[in-house]
Amino acid sequence: MATYDLIVIGAGPGGYVCAIRAAQLGMKVAVAEGRATLGGTCLNVGCIPSKALLHATHELHEANHNFAKMGLIAETKVDWARMVAYKDEVIGQNTGGIEFLFKKNKIDWLKGYASIPAAGRVAVNGDTHEAKAIVVASGSQASTLPGVTIDEEVVVTSTGALSLKAIPERLVVIGAGVIGLEMGSVYARLGSKVTVVEYLDQITPGMDGEVSKQFQRILAKQGITFVLGTAVQGVERTNAGAVVVHRSRKTETEERLEADVVLVATGRKPYVDGLGLDALGVQMTPRGQIATDARFATSIPGVYAIGDVREGPMLAHKAEDEGVAVAEILAGQHGHVNYGVIPSVIYTTPEVASVGLTEEQLKAEGRAYKVGKFPFLGNGRAKAVFQGEGFVKILADKATDRILGAHLIGPMAGDLIHEVAVAMEFGAAAEDLARTCHAHPTFSEAVREAALACGDGAIHA
């Protein structure tokens, strides 16, 4: 039996970052991870592999649609097996990188799935280890629908969709959320006929309404078909593939959609199987998350939880920031996460990004605000690279000019959003952004112009 200051359960972005920060702060740390490689959902079957496929297929799209416009004559062919191998290589480089960081920081990897037989104890593969603190970072798994059986070949979650044997002719995606639209984009670019079936009347619920509408228009132009306001009743396997049975919420008519592959992307739920939390008496929320206080402490002293397994957005960077915060709290410092400034990004083309409050939220709160908007069509750099679609929208307090949120759809939106995030962390006014000199020609100039539009007006609009 080994004794540690901290044992982390799960080596996803929450767990591995927590372990590294704790080791930096002088703790003796171990991480239990049952997967064959470190990095959790994010590195193995989430963020990283999906971005690799998005990158490869974005390049394909550029080659097929924009190369000729620039006088580049190229013939592109897709070698799917090679593309999947490239994606796997990217995963390997990243998961191997975490293993290197564990060694560098003298973090022990306890290989296997862990349980917590008692406070202060973690059992892995028949061995029990002692720990002053335990951080549960066991992540999440895809949630399924009644009447739908996942086989990860024909009826798949994102995990199966990242490693299909062949490019499907017809892909039906259930759920117009982040996974559905990212993976839907990948296969639409590869030539699949993609139909997205969504329960609500809009895509990407919770997103700024204007962005969501334009996003839907752009994706439709890229060949994705949307069937909105319809509830999936079930998926039937057939010899040729599967049939998705869905019923319109307005007309109550039932329709059937044939598919070679069906991607179920209707959300994710916390993963706590095998941890023994029930027996330990850990309090859970009604949504199946581990209940924690503001310092990530569960109802059992010495047991903490971070990342997808507790409340909040299921995002890698949210998990990472909680990992850092809890490590600092355990070291007697004042770890803290500002949940008001957590950016979210969809890595389609164009990218979609947001931070802070949406206009809908501000209206619901009855707050006086102003809107500064700037279209990428007015940005020289965006036009030069055929990415003039989309806009930057900055929301600021009407009286104080303080930035309350930003919503972007356009080139590199996922990077541009951080300029606004930093400004928000500093409590900046829109005028602060507007008065900051921005290099020309950059996409960032569109952010400055939107900030200017919160005041006297953008220059290039």
Q: Which residues are catalytic?
A: 440
Distance, CA of 124 to CA of 29 (rounded, Å): 15
362 binds, among ligand NAI, ligand FAD, none (CB under 5 to 8 A by kind): none
- Applying CB under 6 A, does 314 fall inside the site for ligand FAD? yes
**34, 112, 191, 267: residue in contact with ligand NAI (rule CB under 6 A):** 267
Q: Do residues 128 and 1 lie in contact, with contact meaning Cβ atoms separated by under 8 Å?
A: yes
Residue 7, interface with ligand FAD (CB under 6 A)? Answer: no
| Closer residue to ligand NAI (CB): 22 or 179 | 179
Integer CA distances (angstroms), 119 to 280, 304, 354, 360, 438, in order: 8, 11, 40, 44, 53
Of 113, 215, 296, 304, which lies in the binding site for ligand FAD, with binding defined by CB under 6 A? 113
Minimum Å distance from CB 176 to ligand NAI? Answer: 5
Question: Residue 359 interacts with ligand NAI (CB under 6 A)?
Answer: no
Q: Does 25 bind ligand NAI (CB under 6 A)?
A: no
Q: Candidates 150, 200, 341, 342: give the one binding ligand NAI (CB under 6 A).
A: 200
12-51 burial: b if 16+ Cβ within 10 Å, else e: bbbbbbbbbbbbebebbbbbbbbbebbbbbbbbbbbbbbb
- Binding status of residue 320 toward ligand NAI by CB under 6 A: no
DSSP 291: P
Q: Does 196 bind ligand FAD (CB under 6 A)?
A: no
User: Residue 175 binds what, of ligand NAI, ligand FAD, none (CB under 5 to 8 Å, by partner type)?
Assistant: ligand NAI
Q: What is d(CA 241, CA 340) in angstroms, rounded to the nearest whole number?
A: 44
Under DSSP, the state recorded for 429 is B
**Nearest approach, Cβ of residue 271 and ligand NAI (Å):** 13
Binding-site size, ligand NAI (CB under 6 A) = 27
The reply to whether 194 sits in an annotated binding site is: no
**Cβ–Cβ < 8 Å for 240, 258:** yes
Verify binding: residue 270, ligand NAI, rule CB under 6 A.
no
- Closer of 244 and 315 to ligand FAD (Cβ): 315
Nearer to ligand FAD, 23 or 428 (CB): 23
In the block, which residue shows the tokens 């895509």? Answer: 203
* CA pair distance 390, 346, nearest whole angstrom: 14
Q: CB 101 → ligand NAI: shortest distance, Å? A: 22
Q: Tell me if 177 is assigned to a ligand binding site.
A: yes
Among 25, 34, 255, 461, binds ligand FAD (CB under 6 A): 34
- When asked if residue 46 is in the footprint of ligand FAD (CB under 6 A), the reply is yes
Interaction between residue 114 and ligand FAD (CB under 6 A): yes
Among 18, 90, 172, 265, binds ligand NAI (CB under 6 A): 265
Stretch that binds ligand FAD, among 188-196, 225-233, 315-323, 388-396 (CB under 6 A): 315-323
Query: Minimal distance in Å, beta carbon 211 to ligand NAI?
Result: 14
> Rounded CA gap, 447 and 418, in Å?
11
Burial track 402-431 (b if 16+ CB lie within 10 A, e otherwise): bbbbbbbbbbbbbebbebbbebbeeebbbb
Question: Please, where are the H alpha helices in 177-273?
Answer: 178-189, 209-221
HSE-up of residue 179 (Cα within 13 Å, Cβ side): 28
The verdict on 9 binding ligand FAD (CB under 6 A) reads yes
Is the CB of 134 or the CB of 148 nearer to ligand FAD? 134
Nearer to ligand NAI, 176 or 394 (CB): 176
Transcribe 446-457 into DSSP letters. HHHHHHHHTTT-
Amino acid at position 253, single letter: T
Cβ neighbors of 184 (< 8 A, separation 6 or more) are: 171, 173, 194, 196, 219, 224, 263
CA dist 163 and 185 (Å) reads 15
Applying CB under 6 A, which of residues 140, 195, 354, 444 lies at the interface with ligand FAD? Answer: 140
The response to whether 175 counts as a known ligand-binding position is yes
* Segment lying near ligand FAD (by CB under 6 A), choices 21-29, 136-144, 196-204, 443-451: 136-144
Cα Rg of the chain, angstroms: 23
How far apart are CB 23 and ligand FAD at their closest, in Å?
17
Sole binder of ligand NAI in the list 8, 32, 133, 197 (CB under 6 A): 197
Beta-carbon contacts of residue 132 (< 8 Å; ≥ 6 apart): 4, 5, 6, 120, 302
Binding-site entries: 51, 175-182, 198, 267, 308, 314-317
